[in-house]
Amino acid sequence: MHRRVSGAPFDGTPFYGLGTPFDLIFNSIKLQCRCIINLELSPTYAGDDVTKFLSWMCILAVSFSNLYAPEHLIINVEDAEKWESFVENAGSVFLGPWTPESVGDYASGTNHVLPTYGYARMYGGVSLDYFLKYMTVQSLTEEGLRTLGPYVATMAEVEGLDAHKRAVTLRLKDIEK
């Protein structure tokens, strides 16, 4: 998106998506509505076909966004919160008409160090988690080693890791005594 526009959605201000003015996009959608579901799209029409079509358009938009993995994703539609669960790849998500990106940048408490260039497919923004240390701990019972041991010994043997295999088989021998 080349430029973000604030204000009413149909205020006549050009909205750029790959350089296309909003009215051209809206007229294209109207044409597609007539072609695909044979209806006239008007501000007063509240039929199921329009609702289904617009839901389908939102699904396409979220699907594209998940592939694109934007640094910032603004979801400014009615019931924006319901679309959050469909978002998989975005640096930071802004939901609803009262959540401009600038609030996220400066005041809402989220970190503004976000993945760019599609890296949101693999990484999230910097958060407190980056400054925490995680450690895994394992503890097996005799029964646990008796159950898992033969599989572990086989895998270690296949990989040629004799010390790993012996660490298990020696303990299994002790259990059998």
Element (H, E) at 65: helix 48-68
175 CB-side CA count, 13 A: 16
Candidate list 2, 40, 72, 176, residue with the active-site label: 72
Candidate list 2, 40, 71, 176, residue with the active-site label: 71
In this structure, what token pair is assigned to residue 154?
A: 């086989």
71 is catalytic: yes
Pairing of strands 72-75, 92-95: parallel
- Assess contact for 33 and 41: CB atoms under 8 A: yes
81 is catalytic: no
The SS3 call for residue 89 is coil
Catalytically active residues are 71-72
